[in-house]
Every structure is written in C-alpha cells, then in structure tokens.
Amino acid sequence: MPVIAVLNPKGGSGKTTVAINLAHALALDGDKVLLVDSDLQGSARD
C-alpha cells in the first residue's frame, strides 16, 4: 500500500489543495484512496 505524504511546515503553502486533487486524480484512475488530514485545521475533512 503506497503512502503519499504532502508535508511543509509553512501554513497556506498548498498542502491541502495538492492532497485533495492528488487523491481525486488517483480515485478517478481507479485506485482505492484514503485521504487523511492530520492538520488540526482539518480543511480536507471540511
């Protein structure tokens, strides 16, 4: 099971945006995807 982490200590650098779009693209490709947002802000969950 491959794990892709989108990491950067700087807020607002686009981590959530990249992670959501990457997850969506992989899902459209037929991959089973679990998107986990470990930031307290939880923007991807919203």
For ligand ADP, which residue of 12, 29, 40, 46 counts as binding (CB under 6 A)? 12
- Indicate the residue among 3 and 40 with the shorter CB distance to ligand ADP: 40
Please tell me the count of residues contacting ligand ADP according to CB under 6 A. 8
Taking the C-alpha atoms of residue 3 and residue 18, their distance in angstroms, rounded to an integer, is 15
For ligand ADP, which residue of 3, 5, 7, 11 counts as binding (CB under 6 A)? 11
In angstroms, what is the minimal distance from the CB of 43 to ligand ADP? 5
Residue-by-residue DSSP string for 1-43: --------SSTTSSHHHHHHHHHHHHHHTT--------STT-T
